[in-house]
Amino acid sequence: MEPSDGHTFLGLEPIEKDVDVVVLSLPYELTTSYGTGTSQGPNACIEASGQVELFDVDLNEDLPAGLAIHTAKAWDGEEPTLLHQLDSMVGYLNPWFEGDCFPLTLGGEHGILPPLMEALRNHPRVHEDLSNLTVVQIDAHGDLRSELDEEPYSHACAAARALDAGVGQLMQVGIRAFSKEEHERMLSDDRITTFFAQNTQSPFQGAEHWQAWLDLLHTVEGPVHLTVDIDGLDGSLVPATGTPVPGGLNFWQVQQTIQALFDAPKAVVVSADVNEIVPQKDTPLTQFTAAMIATKIVASHAKARRDGRWNLLGETKGTVRPTPMPTIFRNSIKE
């Protein structure tokens, strides 16, 4: 099962047998509230990844570093309603969340996060209880609204829906655009720890706040999902993303976050996503930045696997897997 356009992540040769890392594409775009184009983002990111250098300094090796990296065919997104599409995404994701490989998902708007949580519910390290899971969120926005434009599954509600699904801890960084409702929840919900960009990017106390963030990541325990909304970076680095915001993280802070999280001695990063990718027409800067972040995630997983911080659960499986359609979201609320 190869990508429909012929591109593979990092330009690697397609594989046919066991899968160590799978790159999944969710070209989902249904609730965007400003800029559009996220449905084209995953493909643009995969295409741009072919220009990324394969050598990683921390891994001290070229990717794929002995791993079988599979670029799966993209989710088709043909279901008729939002709730049907959410369920369809869960069906697409589920076969890759069984502990036999590391799934990296490319999006698409941040509304992909609730389906990712449902796929993770069945991961053997999560044990059907999302309270065991920590979500680390790089983002400009809190994504903690109860609804936006009367839609509770808007991209602006992604983190709120993850918490409602039962996620145990949410750690946010880069946050600098949020509503009063979201700010109140950040302060009142003891499952949420938010590092605001106005602190970490401060020219005066920024270094102190940033070190506190890295120290926090070092203490994380148990299974972790990393979600990277690329608008968490400063808008100058990702100007084509749906809602670019000034005053965000620089590229090396994102790299440091990824490395620190994967190096946390008691944590196991079981999956990750990079979302809100929009192709940039005049220059490939936005999609290339996303591709470099995705590559760093894969390299960090390879290092964690090599160092014994990620272990295979069950036998490895091939590239063709069934995708049954669940009814989780359709059964949650009336359409």
Per-residue pLDDT of the chain in tens (335 residues, 90 and over written 9): 344 467 999 999 999 889 999 999 999 987 655 556 778 899 999 999 999 999 999 999 999 999 999 999 999 988 889 999 999 999 999 999 999 999 999 998 999 999 999 999 999 999 999 999 999 999 999 999 998 888 898 989 999 999 999 999 999 999 999 999 999 999 999 999 999 999 999 999 999 999 999 999 999 999 999 999 999 999 999 999 988 999 999 999 999 999 999 999 999 999 999 999 999 888 999 999 999 999 999 999 999 999 999 999 988 889 999 888 899 998 876 54
- Looking at residue 161, its pLDDT comes to 96
| Token pair recorded at residue 269 | 């990063």
Q: What ranges in 201-319 are assigned the alpha helix state H?
A: 206-219, 251-263, 285-306
DSSP 155: G
Torsions phi, psi for 244 (to 5 deg): -70, 140
Give residue limits of the domains in the chain: 9-306
| pLDDT tens-digit map of 245-257 | 999 999 999 999 9
Torsions phi, psi for 261 (to 5 deg): -65, -45
Q: How deeply is 6 buried, as exposed, middle or buried, from its count of CB atoms within 10 A (0-12, 13-18, 19+)?
A: exposed
Look at residue 289 and give its three-state secondary structure.
helix
- Looking at residue 31, its pLDDT comes to 62
- Looking at residue 36, its pLDDT comes to 62
- Cα(60)–Cα(39) distance, rounded to whole angstroms? 34
Question: What is the rounded radius of gyration, in angstroms, for the C-alpha atoms of the chain?
Answer: 18
- Looking at residue 3, its pLDDT comes to 47
Q: Is the Cβ–Cβ distance between 102 and 301 less than 8 Å?
A: yes
In the β-sheet with 102-107, what is the strand arrangement from edge to edge? Answer: 69-71, 21-26, 102-107, 266-275, 221-229, 134-138, 169-175, 192-196
- Looking at residue 46, its pLDDT comes to 97
- Looking at residue 2, its pLDDT comes to 44
CA–CA distance from 285 to each of 5, 93, 187 (Å)? 21, 28, 35
Q: How deeply is 68 buried, as exposed, middle or buried, from its count of CB atoms within 10 A (0-12, 13-18, 19+)?
A: middle
203 CB contacts (<8 Å, ≥6 apart)?
none
| pLDDT tens-digit map of 207-248 | 999 999 999 999 999 999 999 999 999 999 999 998 899 999
CATH architecture of 9-306: 3-Layer(aba) Sandwich (3.40)
